[in-house]
């Protein structure tokens, strides 16, 4: 039986935080990475977007959109601003942005900047 869960993982060095889906089947584990941030952005990701989940839900979507927004930020001030925007998104807006970042990431990046910069 295949089991999956969504995780916010910190690397061994602590410099990177990743959102991934972990699949477990037949004693083997495989991870698919959905979003990743490095350095000071990783610390903010853990602070703002921590969660525990066995399936896709609002908190996983919020973490996914949040990591993508942090990835786009130029400095810590802008990163905190984006994190607060993500925390305040309604469910509809949240899943809209998640679908955009899952689809055409380059266009989603430009759209996010145009909307919230």
Helix (H) / strand (E) containing 45: helix 40-48
- The answer to which of 23-27, 65-69, 79-83 has the lowest mean pLDDT is 23-27
State the average pLDDT over residues 30-37.
95
Residue 52 confidence (pLDDT) above 80: no
Q: What pTM does this model have?
A: 0.92
Average pLDDT, the chain: 93
b/e per residue 8-33 (b: at least 16 CB within 10 A): beeeeeeebbbbbbeeeeeeeeeeee
pLDDT at 51: 82
Which pLDDT tens digit goes with each residue over 86-102?
999 999 999 999 999 99
The structural domains of the chain, with segments of one domain joined by +, span 3-116
pLDDT tier, 55 (very low <50, low <70, confident <90, very high otherwise): confident
Among 27, 42, 26, 31, smallest CA distance to 5 is for: 31
pLDDT at 43: 93
Alpha-carbon gap, residue 39 to 92, rounded angstroms: 30
The β-bridge partners of 9 are: 18
């Amino acid at each position: 039986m295949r089991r999956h869960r969504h995780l916010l993982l910190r690397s061994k060095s602590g410099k990177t935080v990743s959102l991934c889906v972990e699949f477990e089947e037949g004693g083997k584990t495989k991870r698919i990475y959905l979003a990743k941030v490095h350095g000071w952005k990783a610390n903010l990701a853990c602070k703002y977007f921590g969660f525990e989940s066995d399936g896709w839900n609002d908190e996983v979507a919020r973490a996914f959109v949040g990591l993508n927004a942090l990835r786009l930020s130029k400095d810590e001030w802008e990163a905190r601003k984006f994190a607060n925007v993500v925390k305040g998104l309604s469910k509809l807006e949240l899943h809209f942005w998640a679908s955009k970042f899952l689809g055409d990431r380059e266009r989603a990046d430009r759209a996010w900047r145009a909307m919230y910069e």
